[in-house]
Amino acid sequence: DAKTTQPNSMESNEEEPVHLPCNHSTISGTDYIHWYRQLPSQGPEYVIHGLTSNVNNRMASLAIAEDRKSSTLILHRATLRDAAVYYCILAFTNDYKLSFGAGTTVTVRA
């Protein structure tokens, strides 16, 4: 399985943007880049996914490097509710089974 590397933790102030980096240098052509987050005491929650082009949705934006070896999840205005563990995951298009790493713990200061 292709692996991802993320920082262990990041801190942000409320209403400021958060940029979460992810390295995936061994990504294959059939791997989509997925982001999930897990709030305390809850199951993971889908955030966004992409293949080659940058993607935007109501929760976040995903910026994918041209060589696809890295990506950045962008939370445009962090709120206290965004405090969670964020996972960057590569998933093969046929089965989408998710291989979670340790993720990045995001702390948002009021």
Q: How far apart are CA 71 and CA 32, in angstroms?
A: 11
The only residue of 14, 15, 16, 45 in contact with another protein, by rule CB under 8 A: 45
Q: Which region among 18-26, 41-49, 58-66, 69-77 touches another protein (by CB under 8 A)?
A: 41-49
From the number of C-beta atoms within 10 Å of its C-beta (0-12, 13-18, 19+), residue 48 rates as buried
49 binds another protein (CB under 8 A): yes
Least gap, CB of 77 to another protein (angstroms) = 23
32 binds another protein (CB under 8 A): yes
40 binds another protein (CB under 8 A): no
Query: Tokens in use for 33?
Result: 């880049």
Distance from chain centroid for Cα 75: 10
Distances (CA, A) of 79 to 27, 60, 84: 31, 12, 11
Q: Which region among 12-20, 23-31, 74-82, 96-104 touches another protein (by CB under 8 A)?
A: 96-104
92 binds another protein (CB under 8 A): no
